[in-house]
């Protein structure tokens, strides 16, 4: 899982980190946080996309090998949230790259983030099965 | 015959054992941190996943170098289990590492390059002790041959406790454990992303992981040499002690923070000199 | 065996002809011919000797006329040194030179009546091997020089073109080296020894810049100091033992002359505390560095030490020599880490490797001498290749900084591959250096030398470090900003390809060389021989050979088959289109620059040089005192 902060206020970021603490322990599902798009299956993005982060989001996405899923965490990442109308904000993540799972909330609660990640894993499995079928 | 069996067993089972130990390590680490942790079989799932992914590459030579790294490691391990010359095995081991470093530097990427540089420092840090280790076995048993070392009436550890300690100290480098996980790590470290493996994905990364499992088993095999002698009972004791050593490395991983390269280099060299050197000197004087 | 006179005579004749050859093209043709002739003669010499049964031969008991000529030569050299020293206002060379020449002349005239019937030339496996190294490596360096010097003068307009002189010196050097390795009589050997000292001095000073002159004089006085040791040994042997045969020196085993000769060997092979002359010698054009540091000059010192090796076992001299060798090995390899100039790294690595050879020779048992000879063979080929490729790279890139070789595999692939093979030959399994290291380590343990075991353990780690980081620079896939035009001439490539092929062939023929060449040498030196490499080790070697050569080739095809998509490298997602630039915090494009590790503050020359020189001097002085006290 790769976590990228597009233009978040850090509220969601901290909740994402919460998921890694002993209390929530995302690793029990085999998910770990990495800094490297090459080794990630999921791209987890907090905050809406602005003109500075747009190219970065695109590039990170292109550097992740297929199959991959994108999770938008927090309302800003889903739709742009309260910043939607700002002059520098493009809107939600789905204005730039395809998003598979939306996790709303301001900030999104750890439980719902974990739930979103679980959903993403399921989508990932489906995509993989489809890819394998394709290859045959 | 038995040697051939061992070699085949190594080639087939080392990744399984390695992945299992990796899973065990993750669970034990999680429990030490009062977490539940993943399933023990998680590394197997991960390997399967990596092989099923799309192959992204940053250049055309990386896969070649990674594969060479894996195969040369397998050869080194096979030689160990075939009872060949210990010193040669160690030389091949460092040659394999050379391929890993080449592979990382071939990207010409900032993080991989930094990882490669640090890996070189690490190799420089652990190499003196491994050479002294081979010399220690030679003095204690009269041969560099692993097959002869295994046929001793008494375990080598009684003659070389200092070298064992030194080896446990530097083995953390090879297991990629804190405080010596400079070049790459199993945990996320922002300052260098994934170090050496930053530019590797999918099957490329899986190859490196497999290589690491082979290497892990090889290292444990070297620990095994310390305890094993010609009685079969000692082999069981040795296997148990290897597991204990492995778990000690996990403990050490969890209680220590990453060090700077200078501390790593000089720390390893000092321990090598004090523990290994003194042990060796005593061996030389008495044999 | 008159053919051996041609071996010395042909290069000497060419050396005499070159100064009159002013035309570039004709000079090139003449250099090719000369080098070719030298190689052919060496081959014929080898064939003749083999067909005669490959026995050790001693020749020329009475050679009064030549002796007188040599004395004339000694005096001419003395005059030359005095003339140049006065001109550049140096004192040290004059003192040393006058002292030693006087001593040798005195010996010659006082004792010559009593010293008749002594052989002057000895041919055995070791001298044959040296001849082959000198003829082929030296010969190809001469061929390389033709192309290189053209490029050199195109780059260095400020340096006066003195090529006729340079070629003349190259060939004279070869002649002197042949003479040196074939001589058995100490006075003959001394004569050739002095020629190599003076010629190397002249070659180092080729550019006549202030730095070059300083460095060349440093080389001169250090080598003359060694020559003084040589002269003392000659006097002592003649006065006390009435013989001037090198073989007798070893057989008698008198400590003082052996120590003096070994001292000469140390200076010539640039061991601590005399390493600085070799470092300074890097100011010269590359061919002379290649010649001085791979095939000849330094090998002369090592050759002498290997000859003396049987007399080193278990005495103070041996202990001093091996300790200094070991110390040089580790100190030089540490200092090499902190260098970014390609030639400097090569210089330090040369010193370091010679240290290992000297350490081996100093122990003086069959195993170690075996390792020393082996190291010598591989070191000559590898190092000569490396010097040439660095020289060619410098002409092409305009820099010999290792940092500038980033991505050489893309810009000038041929040079990168050659350099890569050379580097691999210096330290990687299964190339010859490693097997020698294996033998050396085993031998050090067997001889119970704890310090040397530690030195080799740490030294090989540091050696590994500086080679790997260089190799890593070469293989980086980095498309450069501007295109580079490869200006390497055909003859330079011819020489480098020959070396690369030779390196690979040597690796493949490793067991053969071990059994057929190195074993007889050790047997010749010691009279008896114990097996060094067992069959087991050879099998392991074979496996390694296959793995390191074959695995990447197979994997090349395996990985070719894999489908993949090439994407940019990870730079936090801020790559500016390709792998070369990223967007900095001001929103501007910035060029990515990757540097190597140099650990300057830990392994810098500034920190390590003085302590190691002091330590080595102390060991040397202490050893000398012990020998004087115990031997007289």
pLDDT tens digits, one per residue of B100-156? 998 888 877 888 888 888 899 999 999 999 999 999 999 888 888 888 888 888 888
Structure confidence at residue C494 (pLDDT): 85
If you count residue pairs, one on A and one on B, with CB atoms under 8 Å apart, how many are there? Answer: 69
Chain B nearest C-alpha distance from A19 (Å): 11
Report how many domains make up chain B. Answer: 1
Structure confidence at residue A2 (pLDDT): 73
Rounded CA-CA distance B272/B265 in Å is 10
pLDDT band for position C529 (cuts 50, 70, 90)? low
Chain B nearest C-alpha distance from A37 (Å): 9
Structure confidence at residue A102 (pLDDT): 94
Asked if residue A67 lies in contact with residue B53, where contact means CB atoms within 8 angstroms, the answer is yes
pLDDT band for position B245 (cuts 50, 70, 90)? very high
List alpha helices for B59-201, DSSP H.
Answer: 62-81, 86-106, 110-141, 146-150, 161-174
Output the domain CATH number for residue A56.
3.40.50.12280
Cβ neighbours for B235, distance < 8 A, ≥ 6 positions apart: B224, B228
pLDDT of C591 > 80? The answer is no
Rounded CA-CA distance C470/C314 in Å is 39
pLDDT of A41 > 50? The answer is yes
8 Å CB contact of A28 and B26: no
Tens digits of per-residue pLDDT, C326-380?
999 999 999 998 888 888 899 999 999 999 999 988 888 888 888 888 888 888 8
pLDDT band for position C114 (cuts 50, 70, 90)? low
pLDDT of B24 > 90? The answer is yes
Q: Label residue A91 left, alpha or beta by phi (over 0 means left) and psi (-120 to 50 means alpha).
A: left
Report how many domains make up chain A. Answer: 1
Chain B nearest C-alpha distance from A14 (Å): 16
CB contacts of C574 in chain A (<8 Å) are 55-56, 59
For residue C603, give the nearest of C473, C470, C463 by alpha carbon.
Answer: C463
Tens digits of per-residue pLDDT, C72-99?
888 888 888 888 888 888 888 888 888 8
Domain that holds residue B245: 2-286
pLDDT band for position A52 (cuts 50, 70, 90)? confident
pLDDT of C35 > 50? The answer is yes
- Least confident residue range of C191-200, C226-235, C545-554, C604-613: C545-554
Tens digits of per-residue pLDDT, A74-110?
999 998 888 888 888 888 898 999 999 999 988 889 9
Which residues are bridge partners to B145 per DSSP?
A: B85
Q: Does B64 touch chain C (CB under 8 A)?
A: yes
Structure confidence at residue B251 (pLDDT): 92
Rounded CA-CA distance B120/B98 in Å is 8
Task: Evaluate the omega torsion of the peptide bond into residue C564 and state whether it is cis, within 30 degrees of 0.
Answer: no
8 Å CB contact of A57 and C572: no
If you count residue pairs, one on A and one on C, with CB atoms under 8 Å apart, how many are there? Answer: 21
Tens digits of per-residue pLDDT, C537-584?
777 777 777 777 777 777 777 777 666 677 777 777 777 666 777 777
Structure confidence at residue A11 (pLDDT): 87
Structure confidence at residue C443 (pLDDT): 83
Structure confidence at residue C481 (pLDDT): 66
pLDDT of C632 > 50? The answer is no
| Among candidates B42, B46, B56 on the partner chain, residue whose Cβ is nearest the Cβ of A63 | B56
pLDDT of C631 > 60? The answer is no
Structure confidence at residue B262 (pLDDT): 87
CB contacts of A128 in chain B (<8 Å) are 49, 52
Domain that holds residue A43: 2-135
pLDDT of B3 > 60? The answer is yes
Structure confidence at residue B28 (pLDDT): 93
Per-residue CA distances from C605 to A112, C339, C608 (Å): 60, 9, 5
On the CB side of C246, how many CA atoms lie within 13 Å of its CA? 28
Which two tokens mark C138? 């030296």
CB contacts of C457 in chain B (<8 Å) are 127-129, 131-132, 135, 272
Chain B nearest C-alpha distance from A49 (Å): 22
CB contacts of C575 in chain A (<8 Å) are 59
Cβ neighbours for A76, distance < 8 A, ≥ 6 positions apart: A7, A8, A9, A12, A46, A47, A48, A82, A83, A92, A106
| Among candidates C453, C564, C569 on the partner chain, residue whose Cβ is nearest the Cβ of B135 | C453
Structure confidence at residue B189 (pLDDT): 64
Structure confidence at residue C282 (pLDDT): 85
């Amino acid at each position: 899982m790769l976590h990228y902060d597009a233009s978040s206020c850090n509220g969601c970021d901290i909740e994402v980190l919460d998921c890694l603490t002993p209390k929530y322990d995302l690793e029990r599902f085999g998910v770990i946080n990495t800094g490297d798009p090459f080794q990630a299956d999921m791209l987890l993005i907090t905050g809406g996309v602005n003109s500075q982060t747009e190219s970065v989001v695109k590039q990170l996405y292109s550097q992740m090998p297929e199959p991959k899923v994108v999770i938008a965490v927090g309302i800003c990442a889903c739709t742009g949230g309260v910043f939607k109308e700002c002059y520098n904000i493009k809107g939600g993540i789905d204005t730039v790259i395809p998003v598979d799972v939306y996790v709303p909330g301001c900030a999104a609660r750890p439980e719902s983030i974990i739930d979103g990640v679980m959903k993403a894993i399921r989508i990932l499995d489906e995509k993989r099965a489809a890819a394998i079928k394709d290859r045959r | 015959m038995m040697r051939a069996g061992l070699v085949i067993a190594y080639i087939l089972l080392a990744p399984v054992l390695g992945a299992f130990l990796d899973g065990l390590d993750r669970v034990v680490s999680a429990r030490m941190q009062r977490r539940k942790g993943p399933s023990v079989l998680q590394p197997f799932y991960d390997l399967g996943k990596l092989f099923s992914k799309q192959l992204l590459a940053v250049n055309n030579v990386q896969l070649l170098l990674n594969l060479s790294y894996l195969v040369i490691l397998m050869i080194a391990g096979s030689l160990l289990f075939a009872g060949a010359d210990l010193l040669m095995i160690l030389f091949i081991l460092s040659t394999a590492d050379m391929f890993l470093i080449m592979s990382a530097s071939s990207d010409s990427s900032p993080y991989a390059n930094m990882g490669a540089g640090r890996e070189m420092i690490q190799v420089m840090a652990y190499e003196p002790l491994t050479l002294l280790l081979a010399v220690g076995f030679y003095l204690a048993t009269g041969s560099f041959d692993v097959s002869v070392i295994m046929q001793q009436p008494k375990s080598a550890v009684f003659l070389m406790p200092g070298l064992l300690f030194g080896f446990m100290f530097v083995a953390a480098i090879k297991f990629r454990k804190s405080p010596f996980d400079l070049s790459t790590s199993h945990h996320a470290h922002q300052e260098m992303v994934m170090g050496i493996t930053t530019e590797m994905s999918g099957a490329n990364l899986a190859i490196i992981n497999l290589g690491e499992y082979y290497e892990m088993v090889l290292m444990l095999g070297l620990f095994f040499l310390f305890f094993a002698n010609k009685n079969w009972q000692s082999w069981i004791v040795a296997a148990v002690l290897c597991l204990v050593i492995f778990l000690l490395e996990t403990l050490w991983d969890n209680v220590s923070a990453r060090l700077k390269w200078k501390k790593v280099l000089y720390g390893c060299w000092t321990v090598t000199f004090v523990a290994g050197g003194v042990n060796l000197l005593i061996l030389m004087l008495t044999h | 065996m008159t053919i051996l006179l041609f071996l010395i005579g042909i290069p000497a004749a060419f050396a005499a002809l070159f100064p009159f050859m002013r035309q570039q093209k004709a000079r090139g043709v003449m250099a090719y011919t000369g080098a070719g002739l030298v190689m052919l003669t060496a081959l014929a010499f080898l064939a003749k000797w083999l067909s005669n049964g490959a026995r050790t031969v001693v020749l020329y008991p009475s050679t009064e006329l030549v002796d007188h000529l040599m004395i004339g030569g000694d005096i001419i050299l003395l005059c030359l040194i005095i003339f140049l020293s006065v001109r550049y206002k140096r004192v040290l060379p004059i003192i040393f030179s006058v002292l030693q020449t006087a001593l040798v002349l005195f010996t010659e005239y006082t004792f010559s009546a009593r010293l008749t019937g002594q052989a002057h030339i000895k041919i055995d496996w070791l001298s044959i091997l040296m001849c082959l190294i000198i003829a082929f490596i030296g010969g190809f360096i001469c061929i390389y020089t033709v192309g290189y010097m053209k490029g050199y003068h195109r780059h260095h307009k400020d340096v006066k073109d003195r090529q006729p002189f340079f070629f003349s010196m190259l060939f004279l050097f070869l002649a002197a080296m042949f003479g040196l390795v074939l001589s058995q009589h100490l006075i003959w050997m001394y004569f050739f020894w002095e020629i190599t000292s003076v010629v190397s001095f002249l070659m180092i000073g080729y550019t006549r810049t202030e730095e070059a002159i300083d460095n060349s004089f440093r080389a001169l006085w250090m080598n003359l100091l060694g020559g003084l040791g040589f002269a003392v040994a000659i006097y002592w042997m003649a006065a006390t033992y009435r013989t001037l045969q090198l073989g007798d020196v070893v057989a008698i085993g008198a400590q003082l002359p052996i120590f003096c000769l070994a001292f000469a060997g140390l200076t010539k092979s640039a061991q601590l505390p005399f390493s600085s002359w070799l470092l300074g010698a890097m100011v010269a054009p590359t061919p002379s560095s290649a010649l001085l540091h791979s095939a000849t000059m330094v090998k002369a010192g090592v050759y002498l030490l290997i000859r003396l090796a049987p007399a080193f076992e278990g005495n103070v001299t041996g202990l001093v020599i091996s300790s200094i060798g070991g110390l040089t090995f580790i100190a030089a390899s540490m200092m090499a880490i902190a260098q970014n100039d390609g030639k400097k790294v090569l210089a330090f690595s040369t010193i370091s490797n010679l240290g290992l050879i000297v350490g081996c020779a100093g122990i003086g048992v069959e195993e170690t001498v075996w390792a020393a000879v082996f190291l010598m063979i591989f070191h000559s080929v590898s190092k000569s290749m490396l010097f040439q490729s660095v020289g060619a790279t410098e002409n092409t890139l305009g820099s010999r900084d290792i940092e500038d070789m980033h991505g050489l595999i893309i810009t000038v692939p041929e040079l990168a591959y050659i350099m890569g093979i050379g580097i691999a030959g210096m330290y990687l399994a299964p190339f010859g250096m490693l097997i020698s290291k294996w033998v050396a380590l085993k031998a050090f343990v067997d001889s119970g030398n704890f310090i040397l075991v530690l030195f080799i353990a740490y030294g090989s780690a540091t050696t590994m470090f500086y080679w790997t980081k260089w190799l890593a620079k070469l293989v980086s896939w980095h498309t450069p900003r501007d295109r580079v035009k490869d200006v390497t001439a055909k003859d330079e490539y011819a020489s480098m390809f020959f070396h690369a092929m030779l390196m690979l062939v040597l690796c493949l023929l490793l067991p053969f060389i071990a059994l057929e060449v190195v074993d007889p040498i050790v047997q010749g030196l010691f009279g008896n021989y114990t097996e060094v490499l067992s069959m087991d080790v050879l099998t392991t070697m074979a496996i390694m050979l296959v793995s390191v050569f074959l695995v990447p080739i197979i994997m090349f095809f395996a990985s070719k088959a894999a489908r993949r998509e090439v994407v940019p490298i990870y730079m936090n997602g801020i790559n500016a289109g390709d792998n070369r630039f990223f967007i900095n915090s001001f929103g501007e494009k910035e060029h990515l620059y990757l540097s190597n590790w140099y650990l300057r503050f830990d392994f810098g020359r500034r920190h390590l040089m003085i302590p190691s020189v002091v330590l080595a001097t102390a060991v040397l002085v202490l050893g000398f005192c012990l020998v004087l006290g115990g031997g007289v």
